[in-house]
Amino acid sequence: PVMSRPPSARQGRTPTVRRVTIDDLPRIPEVFSLSLAPDGTRLAFVVETADEPANRLRHRLLVLELDEAGGRRGPVRTIVRGSAKLGQPRWSPDGSRLAYVDDRGGSPQLWTWVTATDVRQPLTTHPAGVGSPAWSPDGTHVAVIADAAQHLDDPVPIEETDPRRRVVRVTGHRH
């Protein structure tokens, strides 16, 4: 692999080409968790970059508008900035909302972004955190996977009392 630096418009020089070294790796962003909207007009994804002075990773959830041919239409939009557990974007079936996981409050929780109003709101407050969001086909519910306890013999931390939420417990499984 090679890296190049674009020429300066004022200086009119050609780019410098050199081999990638281990020192370059923190400056190369990683793109993951891609999610295409059902109508194909938007792509949500997460970009991870290294913040070398702070010695931590930074994440941004971005949305790219796409034209009919799948090309870029307009600027890339930052939906939210987060830390290590920002990711897993999933579009609602009608494309009006984007569910994602963010650990801004400590443990990873489910959030939604409403495209029409630009509102972001948390949907869960599970003490051990949640992940793997999946929309119901009609877009009225989002299912998540949550740990019932941190260790095998720990009691379940909280029983759900909100009538809008239904908890389904798996008490055993087979491989």
Q: How confident is the model over 115-141, as pLDDT tens digits?
A: 999 999 999 988 888 999 999 999 999
Is the whole model's pTM more than 0.95, yes or no? no
pLDDT of amino acid 82 = 80
pLDDT digits (tens, 9 = 90+) for 86-119: 999 999 999 999 999 999 878 899 999 999 999 9
Q: Could you give the 3-state DSSP secondary structure of residue 136?
A: coil
Phi first, then psi, for residue 41 (nearest 5°) are -95, -10
Q: Which residue has the tokens 């941190």?
A: 150
Nearest Cα to Cα of residue 113 among 29, 41, 37, 169: 37
